[in-house]
Amino acid sequence: MHATLRPGDPPLSRSVEDYLKAIYHLSSQGGFASTSDIAAMLEVAPPSVSGMVKRLSETGLIEHVPYRGVQLSPQGRRAALRMIRRHRILELYLTQQLDYDWDGVHAEAERLEHAVSDELIERMAGSLGQPRYDPHGDPIPTAAGEIEEADLVTIADAAVGAKLELRQVGTQDSARLRYFATQGLTPGVLLTVADRQPFNGPTTIALVPSGDRRVLGRELARLLLCSEVPVQEHGHADR
């Protein structure tokens, strides 16, 4: 009964859908997404963004403050979350049911997300058991448009000595994803922060329970998003 996208509305184009997703990602932390950031994310020229921004604000999907940036309207946010749900369910389906590696699914989902029906997405979600996270640990929005907001720390920021659970891998870059996989750094892994060198130096972590160590430069450490695990013997994590 909530006022989602009316079925009568003309469907959004592939471009529009990708713009809305980009704006969602860029404005999820701070307030506004800038023209040049959108342009960089979508690999188009800045004037193309200005043109699209005009159309999107005319149709009420975004708010535009000239020379400052854009934000999603409630309607635009719903549309963006719908695309993100599709994208993440597709990624998970490809890895779980069709034996894709986690570094290959993004490109495929990027195209399919625009072509699948809601029906197909819900069937996939059903056959996956209504999953909550995609292969990279990103939360899957519900069909109703809710998304989990976890506050996570990167391994680059976590305190030395902290015990962490790796939750999300914040990149779609194939080479980096493959490297993380070889290092056993995938969502769900437990670890402790053993050391950090000064002046933006590398962080050393120890995997739990194996105790294996990994040394991560700042670039990679910033991509690994973790939740803190209370350090208590024989305790149960509450998730």
Partner DNA sequence: TCTGCAGATTAGGCTAATCTAATCTGGACG
Partner DNA sequence: CGTCCAGATTAGATTAGCCTAATCTGCAGA
For residue 13, state whether it binds DNA (rule: CB under 7 A). Answer: yes
The DSSP H or E segment spanning 91 is helix 74-98
Least Å distance, CB 124 to a second copy, is: 7
201 binds, among DNA, a second copy, Mn ion, none (CB under 5 to 8 A by kind): none
Closest CA to 82 of 15, 145, 135, 3: 145
Q: Which stretch binds a second copy (CB under 8 A): 49-57, 65-73, 104-112, 152-160?
A: 104-112
The DSSP H or E segment spanning 68 is none
Report the C-alpha gap between 66 and 97 in whole angstroms. Answer: 46
Instruction: Select 14 or 54, whichever has its Cβ closest to a second copy.
Output: 14
Tell me how many residues contact DNA (CB under 7 A).
27
For residue 55, state whether it binds DNA (rule: CB under 7 A). Answer: yes
Instruction: Select 119 or 238, whichever has its Cβ closest to a second copy.
Output: 119
> Omega before 7 cis (within 30°)?
no
Residues 6 or more apart whose CB falls under 8 angstroms from that of 7 comprise none
Decide if 153 contacts 228 (C-beta within 8 A).
yes
Q: Specify which residues 224 forms β-bridges with.
A: 169
What is residue 121's DSSP assignment? H
Alpha carbon of residue 162 to chain centroid:
24
Q: Which stretch binds DNA (CB under 7 A): 48-56, 116-124, 151-159, 231-239?
A: 48-56
For residue 128, state whether it binds a second copy (rule: CB under 8 A). Answer: no
Residues that bind Mn ion (CB under 5 A): 18, 91, 110, 134, 136, 138
For residue 155, state whether it binds a second copy (rule: CB under 8 A). Answer: no
Closest CA to 94 of 81, 80, 109, 82: 109
Least Å distance, CB 112 to a second copy, is: 5
Interface ranges with DNA (CB under 7 A): 13-16, 34-37, 39, 43-55, 64, 66-69
Which residues in this chain contact a second copy in the complex, by CB under 8 A?
A: 94, 97-100, 104, 107-108, 111-112, 114-117, 119-120, 123-124, 127
